[in-house]
Structure 1
Amino acid sequence: MLTAGDLAGVAAAAPDGLRSSTSVPVTVDGAIDGALWVYAEQTDAFDRQAIAELEELATQLALGLQRLRRAGQLLQAVARQSLLTTAIDQAAETFVVTDPTPAIIYANPAAIAASGYSLDELVGQNPSLFSSGQHDHAFYVGLWADLLNGRPWHGVLINRRKNGEVYEEDATIAPVHDAAGTTMAYVAVKHDLSITRGLEADLIRERSDRAAVRQMVSGVQPGELKATADSFCEAVVGLDGFDSAIVLLTDPSGYLIPIGCRGPTALRRMVGEGTRIPYPDGFNQKTDVSALTVDGATPSSVRWLTLAMVEALLIDGFTAVGCAPLVWRGEVGGLVAVATRVPVGVEWMQTRLGILAEFGSLAGVLFGAQAEQHEQREAQRAEIRDVIDAQRFHPVFQPVVDLATGRVRGYEALTRFDGNSAPDQCFANAHLLALGDELETACVAAALVAARGLPADVWLSVNFSPEVVLSGHAARTVADASRPIVIELTEHLPIGDYPLMREAIQGCTPARISVDDAGAGFASLRHILELQPDMVKLDAGLIRGIDADPVRQALTSGMCHFARTTGTILIAEGVEAEAEAETLRGLGVELAQGYLFGRPVEAPGGAVMT
């Protein structure tokens, strides 16, 4: 609006030569917004008609200004409304607007996603569409009491999604009034509590599980590897939701060997059979804790379980498998795998990755040292398996001579291993690794072949441990021998069941039996009395220096008396000096073996006495 001072200034600024002027106010929305000034050269140039026309012109000018300004305001309002709409559409919170009836007139994308209904399905519906039926009548009476009295309501709504799933929402519902105070609409702003509730439940469950695992592990008694692993798996299955568990250790070739299990019979059988299983495809052995689906359509996702394991899990109704590395001293020594029958298996297992990692860590503590020993054991086993399969050994033969005539009566077949490994240690390791039976029979079989060049009238003595004789493998190995056989019972292990041993010896007929190393190890007087062998070999420790030792001579003399009485043949081992041989002849020992008569050689020949 122009002031009096503004008008005076305009008049004073009239151009030179102009004799008259007039002004008409420009009024916008009832207020003077400006003035229209007109100048003329003539005096008294503006009559009433001219002024009326100028007033009309000013009115048109005011209308134009009003329209322009309102258009600008409208554009600003539209811009503000667009920004608000965009913000609401992109908000993570759900927004639902109803009319007073109340019928839904707007729902943002978050509300659509949370409820599972499309916008078309929501518009025009009463919000009771979301009701789960878990609120009573009094709850809604209190809610509407606030809204009808113009107050906003805040609380937790238990609603139901379109798919039937019940969920909780933290909600604020407020009435919207016009300028007269009349309710135009209701606006609900809600936050889905499902994720929050789920995280809280997961945290509580994880804390509970970890406490249970710690208590569970404290009850696992360390002992033999498989028994400890079975006990661990039993305790894991005692936790809610875990229906099967298996512990696997890494072998030297990088495969997994199951050592303990609680689950289907097929899985337990694999533990007993030592089934070798590859690691999961893409599994980072040091960091991965994974949940895998179990279904017939995608067996590739659990290839590492092997087809038989997948079938076993499917038959028993398992839905998902989880696995975690067994870590010890920063290195992975195996894997802990668990399975569940929970209907939404993979989703459930994904919530348990933390406890799976706990299983792996605890298993590392329980089995770490044993895993190292197991790995070393498997490496040794692989070495011995290679010795057997590649026949990395060869037989040698040492003569057994008649002390009275010097004639060779037989040969003892001995084994030498590639790399100069000590034979006694090789056989002992093989027995510790449950390969002693195979190694002994392989060595004897090779000796029978190599001995074909020996004179036909001499016997061949081969070494078997009592357990190989008991297994029947000794009898089967020598059954087709082309010459007389003497089975020497080596003393790696004691004989626990003499009647059973005598029965096994009978199965070796016509082979004769010799008790080796009498005077050392487990070869006691009871062995000789119980087994009644055809031959007894006197230990080299008893024979060495016998020519100068009356005590050794007395003991050997007593054995000679026993041999004459029972018809047993004595063989003195380790004879290296002529004086020893002479003393043995004088005592009545019949046969002898040692470097004095010949060293073990690969093929009988010139170095062997005949």
Structure 2
Amino acid sequence: MDEAIRMHRRVFCLVAVMWAPGVMAATEPLEKLVETDLLTVPVLTMFVLLLIVFGWGLHRIRLERRRAAQSMSALTESERRFRTLFEHTPEISVQGYDRNRRVIFWNRFSEKLYGYSTQEAIGSRLEDLIIPDCMRAGVIEGVDKWVNFGEGIPAGELTLRRQDGAPVHVFSSHVMLHGRDGEPEMYCIDIDLSARKAAEDQLRKLSLAVEQSPESIVITDLWGSIEYVNRAFELTTGYRADEVIGQNPRVLNSGKTSPDVYKGFWATLMRGESWRGEFINRRKDGSEFVELAVVAPVRGKDGTVTHFLGIKQDVTEQKRAAAEINRLAYYDGLTGLPNRALLMDRLGLVLAVSRRQPRQDALILFNIDRFQTLNDARGHAMGDLLLQALGRRLSGLLREGDTLARIAGADFAILLQALDIHREDASRRALSVAEKLHAALREPFDLGSETAVITASLGITTCPDDADDTPLEILRRADTALHRAKDAGGNQTAFFETAMGDVARQRFRIERELRRGIPAGELRLFLQSQVDERESIKSAEVLVRWAHPERGLVPPGVFVPVAEQSDLICELGVWVLENACRLMAEHGSAGRELRLSVNISPRHFRLPDFVPWVCELLSIHGVDPSCLTLEVTEGLMIEDIDGVVAKMQALTAFGIRLSVDDFGTGYSSLAYLKRLPLHELKIDRSFVQDAPENSDDAALVETILAVAHSLHLQVVAEGVETVRQAAFLNARGSMIHQGYLYGRPQAASEWIPLWLKQFDQVLP
């Protein structure tokens, strides 16, 4: 019985231990307790049940703790993963804010996007970091409503602010979470849109540029169907976009573009290259226009051609303007004939052809005789009508390929091409054309209310003259021949001859070298004495010589006539007068009065500032104006006698003396002599030399002396070379003599000592 009870107890203990894991540590004490007699079966059963309940409760507690520990570990790991994920998320900014809008989380891309480091951002307020001033109030209000009332903040595009103040374009979305403490936390997820915005801006600019481009832009597929046209296309062609989309650009074809252009166009595009050229197209209203087009293949990413892009510019007006510019540059505005520039171009072409194949051409220059008289008598409008009628008439006389050009004024030129291979035969044919021209000009010209009959002078030269011939040389030869024809009295034809060319070349060389020599200091001042009847030097005439570095001393008869035909005569006159004033100023002191006479050319005298310039020159050098005599020729009085008289009066009022040089050889008139404020007449040497033997010359000299005496003018006789001539003059009155009998012209440095010696001898 006892043994059975003991076994029973142990079984309950084992059951208790199995159902109450929490009492496993008390197994040994429990066994001891079982061994005692205190536990009866009921008590033991109750005790075991209690142990089971207690152990199970303890097991549940441990189990809950284990689960809580595992849950906490998982949460911690989740948070770590969350932070790691958003900390290193590329191209996405993640920021966390507490309910007071202070930063609690700031990932690395936020640092890059907004410029604030994590240390700078944590603890700072949202509105103080990235919110522009204009958005601040709205952001604060929106966040507060979300935190306090659960009103969500809509996602969308925003323009926020970097640390440096630069704008940042982002797409922003927001998430509300609760922290461990249950407090709300807001997380902002911002995606950087700067690159997209830049691309969109670029695309928008490109789209605006294409749409607003002044050039027409057309995009077609590979089969030529139009897929896009811009506004300029519509304005240029008159077609709306919806009218041409799907159409082929040949809808604009006028039929006037050469088929070769289209052939080259497609051949170029099929090679994958860009084509540039012009199309003559037709607008919707039927009007034609010219387009300068650039068409290029458009390639995809794989390099294959997907479309064709055409950029076209309406150049109709430019073409018209270019044609007008060409007309103005190469055609005469009055007659419509080629001008000098085009003539020179064609002369150049003629020479180029003649170098490849032997042939002779000819150039005819002609000038309407006395055209200025017709202009003055009937007016410039009538002169213009004549020039136009002349152009029309002569154009009908020429062969195809010949050129009729208006050079200037009443000067015309005719270029006759390929007359013959021999110069003599070409000259005869050119002369035949010249005779036709004279005959054509003899026919009256109908000028509306009037008619006109004219003649012309013609100069002819053949070309090429040699292998080095030039257009300018050809024109120069023809011009030389023309002047010869005019010198012969007009209504003449003259051929260029070699001797004529030699003279012209000589004159050209002299002018060119003199133009260089004057500023180079190559001129020399010479003086020739003017004496009274006792052969005492009273004054001197100023002459000029040219000390050429290669040809030595050049006499004035060689270079002065050349200077007279150009502006060089004025430059020459300035040099002579300035040096004469220096000489007078240098030797006119100490009671000595150096009196000099200086020749003035009509061209120099007519300059508007001549009088004030001479007066200022004398004042600058401190020269007594009465010591200077200006010699002018009678030719000065032919034109504008009133203006000449006014200038002479101004000069004499200043104290300058005036003399008429070579009196009796030009336009001698007592009428103008009475008006001119003269002091002196100079008898030309041609009268003086033969006066002792020739009664006619003697009578002329006596007449001149009588005129001078009646007008109270001093007389200077030039060219006195013999004693007999001097005696003849002295027998007829008191006058000044000048000539080789009293001395040849001398360099100023040689003449001055002779004058000083005589001057010192007569001093008291």
Q: Shorter-normalised TM-score: what interval?
A: 0.3 to 0.5
Question: Which has a greater percent of helix?
Answer: 2
TM-score normalised to structure 2 length: 0.35
